């Protein structure tokens, strides 16, 4: 089966709380490589030159890489299947490796204040047939107490590209504590590309998401 393409970008609600006919792809990503893990990525052709204003150079390099990720994503959109919401490759376990809005996956846990207390380990999304979505953010508190926030949701197809996920109240586990808080939440997502390795998508507010299939994860096809 040729590569299909999509992205279920389910942003994890803020602690309100809330948080989380195939076309062959011959697109060359040139020198842009997705070493995208926990919002980290690199462009092999780009090098940061340290001058008398090293901070300015680093900021410029970071901004240019964001732009390059968006440009590559836009190119990949051209190779998306006609009805990505029906592509069976959406099923499986996925790592959240990039988001143009760093606080979207993880919500308040990824905010400037949240990062003072929570060190993110993994951000994972599992999509199971026929319509189950699970988001999980694993973290450590002050670097030594492990915890996680998880969300279980139900996927609804809105049209050939858009889906909606309605999530149950989040579940928080820290050490021996385990409890639910808050209420239901929902997200609407546009599926823009999917294949055996990655999923791309945009949230209703324009955030770009990149998911990478977990090593050894099943595609259910």
pLDDT tens per residue, range 21-70: 333 333 333 333 333 343 333 333 344 444 446 777 777 776 778 888 99
| 95 pLDDT higher than 60 | yes
Q: What is the pLDDT of residue 105?
A: 58
Residue-wise pLDDT tens digits, 145-158:
898 999 999 999 99
Lookup: tokens for 183: 């209420």
Q: Phi/psi at 139 (nearest 5 deg)?
A: -150, 170
**Residue 72: how many CA atoms within 13 Å on its side-chain side?**
23
pLDDT of residue 116: 53
* Cβ-contact 136, 109 below 8 angstroms: no
DSSP string, 102-126: TTTTTGGGGSTTHHHHEEEEEEEEE
Tokens encoding 174: 């820290």
**Nearest CA to 73 among 210, 195, 203, 189?**
210
Q: Which domains does the chain have, with CATH numbers?
A: 83-213 (2.40.128.280)
List of E strands, 57-161: 92-99, 118-128, 132-141, 145-157
Distance CA 133, CA 214 (A): 15
Q: Which residue matches tokens 């606080």?
A: 103
Q: Does the global pTM surpass 0.85?
A: no
> Is the peptide bond prior to 17 cis by the omega test (within 30 degrees of 0)?
yes
């Amino acid at each position: 089966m040729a590569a299909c393409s999509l992205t279920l970008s389910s942003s994890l609600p803020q602690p309100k709380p809330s948080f989380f006919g195939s076309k062959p792809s011959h697109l060359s990503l040139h020198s842009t490589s997705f070493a995208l893990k926990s919002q980290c990525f690199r462009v092999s052709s780009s090098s940061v030159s340290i001058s008398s204003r090293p901070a300015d150079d680093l900021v410029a390099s970071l901004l240019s890489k964001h732009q390059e990720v968006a440009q590559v994503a836009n190119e990949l959109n051209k190779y998306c299947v006609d009805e990505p919401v029906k592509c069976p490759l959406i099923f499986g376990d996925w790592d959240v490796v990039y988001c143009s809005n760093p606080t979207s996956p993880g919500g308040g846990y990824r905010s400037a204040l949240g990062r003072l207390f929570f060190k993110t380990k993994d951000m994972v999304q599992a999509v199971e047939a026929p319509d189950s979505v699970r988001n999980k953010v694993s973290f450590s508190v002050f670097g030594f107490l492990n915890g996680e926030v998880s969300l279980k949701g139900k996927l609804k197809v809105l049209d050939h590209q858009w889906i909606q996920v309605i999530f149950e109240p989040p579940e928080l586990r820290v050490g021996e504590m385990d409890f639910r808080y808050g209420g239901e939440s929902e997200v609407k997502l546009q599926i823009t590309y999917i294949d055996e390795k990655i999923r791309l998508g945009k949230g209703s507010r324009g955030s770009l998401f990149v998911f990478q299939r977990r090593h050894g994860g099943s595609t259910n096809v």
